[in-house]
Amino acid sequence: MQHTVIRKKLDNGISLVLVPLSSTEAVTVVVLLGVGSRYESDQQQGLAHFTEHMVFKGGRKYTSTQAIAQSLDAIGGEFNAFTSQEFTGFYTKTASRFLELGIDILSDMVLHAEIPEIELEKEKGVIVEEINMYEDMPMRKVDHVLTQFAFGDTPLGRPILGTKQSVTAFTREDFLKYREQFYKGEQCTVVIAGALNVEQATELVSKYFSEMPKGEPYKSAEGVFAQRNERVFIEERTSEQTHLMLAVKGYKLAHQNRYAYRVLTTILGGNMSSRLFVSVREEQGLCYYVRASPDIYSDIGLLVASAGVDNSRLSLAVSAIMHELQSVRDYPVPEEELNRAKQYLVGKMLLGLEDSEQVAEYYGMQDLLEKDISSPEEVERQTMAVTIEQVQQVAQELLVNENLRLAVIGPQKDREGLEKLLTFS
């Protein structure tokens, strides 16, 4: 799968990435800004996410949510947005002949959102209910509990949504200052993938995003893995099930061992033939879901195993997960298992790149966060080159007692008992 990738730097600093695809009549436009919740000050908690909401309330040309929605609905287009700790994204997906409309709408939202006072006050209630929703979903809430436990009271450890107190205190001026502070060309990637003409796409982005100020690159607060005497945190609540996340300090995004790292997490819990799934679910019947995955940031990361278990079987589940972690650390992975994990990663990547939206995300995220792009062919080559020795080296480097952290939500009290289980012998 070979793509032609054209990268350009516009006069105002915007990085433009164009990926023409002959296999589709669709085109996806994604505007990525290198700012998320970890860039927020104490007073700005939740502002990145709230800003994502407010740009849909209308700009200069498309003056309301309905105007935006009707313009895209009329052509069968799709649009949405997303916020993480490190970036904010906005996208449209349309038939290729409506490329200009998609770019026009995105530029109006991102550059010219009016932030109407009446809509701002209504949206505060919407986000408070979004916070309430996740508070009532232990399977999702435990992720934040772990992040806060691992990174402490730092921007990286705070909830992306902010708090009820922070979001209800925002004023229109806060949003305007935030946009002026962070929405800069030097920290923006516009990526277009699909049925496109390179010259036309370049002209359209240059035209509609010309008002984005150039600015200077900015940095977030450094990500720090919190050193603690206690390695277990329990949020007690009445529930039918206990949700857990067991983690160790992992690698940053561009770490030299990143390919072996992803192979390791796949072997542990990346699919239905992984060790955790086979052992903890299939053989022992301890849970419905169990998985392992890398949680990766530009300067730090976590390797996380998660599961939802019967309240009475939490200790059994933690012991079972620890057993699999210790096994992959102490014993070389069989070659057949290694090859299966590598082929899985390559296959998932290639299947994902069949869609213009996924192609845009693949190249856009690399450009934004790494300032470099690895082709699918290069990723496949690096992945398939991972050796048994490299996987074990990564496991032995990361799976150490002092970096273990366990976050639990459920009717649990025995923190000391769980603490005793967190030991590699």
Domain with CATH 3.30.830.10 in the chain: 6-208, 232-421
What is the assigned CATH class of domain 232-421?
A: alpha beta
pLDDT score of 2 = 86
State the pTM of this model. Answer: 0.95
The distance from CA 418 to its chain's CA centroid, rounded to whole angstroms, is: 29
The catalytic residue among 40, 52, 114, 380 is 52
User: Going by CATH, does the domain composed of 6-208 fall within 3.30.830.10?
Assistant: yes
Sheet holding 301-310, edge to edge: 232-236, 405-410, 241-249, 301-310, 287-296
Q: Render each residue's pLDDT in the chain as its tens digit; 425 residues.
A: 689 999 999 999 999 999 999 989 999 999 999 999 999 999 999 999 999 999 999 999 999 999 999 999 999 999 999 999 999 999 999 999 999 999 999 999 999 999 999 999 999 999 999 999 999 999 999 999 999 999 999 999 999 999 999 999 999 999 999 999 999 999 999 999 999 999 999 999 999 999 999 988 888 888 999 988 899 999 999 999 999 999 999 999 999 999 999 999 999 999 999 999 999 999 999 999 999 999 999 999 999 999 999 999 999 999 999 999 999 999 999 999 999 999 999 999 999 999 999 999 999 999 999 999 999 999 999 999 999 999 999 999 999 999 999 999 999 999 999 999 999 98
The Cα–Cα gap between 40 and 181 comes to: 11
Q: What is the pLDDT of residue 218?
A: 84
Candidates 39, 405, 36, 1; CA nearest to 222 is: 39
Asked about 402 being catalytic, the answer comes back as no
Q: Which letter does DSSP use for residue 403 in this model?
A: G
- Cα dihedral 95→97→103→105 (10° resolution): -70
* DSSP H or E segment with residue 17: strand 15-20
pLDDT at 1: 67
What pLDDT sits at residue 179?
95
What are the tokens at 387?
């050796």
